[in-house]
Structure 1
Amino acid sequence: MSASLSVFTLYRDPMAAVSWLVEAFGFEVVNSFGAEEGTIDHAELRLGDAVVMVQAALDGQGPAPEAEGSTSRAPVLSLDDEASVGALYERVSAAGARTLHAPGTTPWGNYRFEVLDPEGHQWSVGSYRPGMSW
């Protein structure tokens, strides 16, 4: 069986979210749909093989609440090496991300950082590729 996994995240201001993800992470917009000119209801962004979909949040929808330095869910972006992780941390920090965990190595060997984007969604970026043998 062949499978792939993408993540979608709901944003109150999807236009601003897409702009920020392009600036902060370097994503490229590959598809975008808006019911009206100048709006985004759904967008698809790619960075290498990673795909994230941004959708307009309905009233009451938003990020998972932060508790003890984390939220209950986060997209995980896997990069090639520690140098790439460190460079991206500098980039997202300069774009205004709030740091939850500065770059460091986990007990399972993942060099990673975790940040909150401007709407409070957690992002985890590391050198470990989930699903691969340790």
Structure 2
Amino acid sequence: MPATLSLFTLYQDPAAAVAWLVRAFGFEVTAQHGPREGAVDHAELRLGDAVVMVQAAAAGQAASPVVDGASSRAPVLCLEDEAAVDDLYVRAVAAGATVLRGPETTAWGNHRFEVLDLEGHQWSVGSYRPGQAW
């Protein structure tokens, strides 16, 4: 059965989050909805086959890390090769990402980095090959 998996994440300022994700990681906005021009309640972004859905945080939902101090650990962005990982690292840092782990090659052969976005969501970006043995 074919399937895709999309990331759904909450932001206090979804318009700023969308702009940051486009600037930092190169996502393309494929849908955006809000009560007025420039306001975002929900947006969908794509980078290759990866889809991120950005939603305005509302009462009764899990809070953005900027509100409760917790860190989300969901997003893992898989890229083709080490050069793509390094290029995206430079782009993310230029956009103001907080670096948790600079580019490194792991003992299991993946090249990766980890950053926090503008509201504290943790992103791991690497040349991961799901399903490949270490």
Give TM-score scaled by structure 1 length. 0.89
Task: Give the letter aligned to residue 32 of structure 1.
Answer: Q
- Whether contact under 8 Å (1:78, 1:127) holds in the other structure is yes
Once structures 1 and 2 are overlaid, which stretch shifts more, 50-59 or 87-96? Answer: 50-59
Distance across 1 between alignment mates of 2:58 and 2:4: 27
1:62 aligns with 2:61: no
Alpha-carbon offset, residue 65 of structure 1: 4.2
What 5-or-longer segments of structure 2 have no aligned partner? none
Once structures 1 and 2 are overlaid, which stretch shifts more, 27-36 or 89-98? Answer: 27-36
Distance across 2 between alignment mates of 1:47 and 1:72: 20
Q: Deviations over 1:14-65 (max 9, x none)?
A: 0000001111111000011112332111100001111101000124711274
Distance across 1 between alignment mates of 2:88 and 2:10: 23
- Residue of structure 1 in register with 2:31 after alignment: 31
- Whether contact under 8 Å (2:72, 2:121) holds in the other structure is no
1:103 aligns with 2:103: yes
Task: Give the letter aligned to residue 62 of structure 1.
Answer: S
1:76 aligns with 2:72: no
Report the secondary structure of 1:38's partner residue: coil
Alpha-carbon offset, residue 72 of structure 1: 5.0
Alpha-carbon offset, residue 105 of structure 1: 1.5
1:10 aligns with 2:7: no
Task: Give the letter aligned to residue 21 of structure 1.
Answer: L
The count of corresponding residues between Structure 1 and Structure 2 is 129
Distance across 2 between alignment mates of 1:101 and 1:65: 19
Structure 1 ranges of 4+ moved more than 3 A: none
- Whether contact under 8 Å (2:113, 2:124) holds in the other structure is yes
- Whether contact under 8 Å (1:65, 1:72) holds in the other structure is no
Q: Deviations over 1:85-106 (max 9, x none)?
A: 0011001001100000101022
Report the secondary structure of 2:22's partner residue: helix
Percent identity between matched residues is 67
What 5-or-longer segments of structure 1 have no aligned partner? none
CA RMSD, 1 decimal: 1.6
- Whether contact under 8 Å (1:99, 1:116) holds in the other structure is yes
